[in-house]
Amino acid sequence: MLALHVQIQVKPDAIDAFKSATRANAEATRREPGVLRFDVGQQTDDPTKFMLYEVYRSPEAHAAHRETAHYAAWRVAVDSLMAVPRVGTRYTVVE
């Protein structure tokens, strides 16, 4: 299994638009056969900061996710909303 933790900071005036686009992407992503988990969190003390926690059955499932229409639409929708480039960290699930 592959887990990803993605940290995202959006522009203050872009919070609602980011949440809307990300919610749509998350709902579609959760229906992919290779996805075990896809959570979106918003930082409590700084509402411009978000995290994605994604768990895939395999690296190939993650690669397949990146080829979906909903992921491509999300990228187009949110790229200009981010205050800084997002940072993703990959993990191997050990338990």
Full 3-state SS string of 38-82: EEEEECCCCCCEEEEEEEECCHHHHHHHCCCHHHHHHHHHHHHHE
Please state which architecture CATH assigns to domain 2-92. 2-Layer Sandwich (3.30)
Q: What tokens were used for 50? A: 């978000």
Q: Which of 76, 87, 20 is nearest to 51 (CA)?
A: 87
15-67 confidence digits (pLDDT tens): 999 999 999 999 999 999 999 999 999 999 999 999 999 999 999 999 999 99
CB-based contacts of 61, cutoff 8 Å, min separation 6: 2, 32, 33, 34, 35
Tell me, yes or no, if the pTM score tops 0.85.
yes
Amino acid in position 57: R
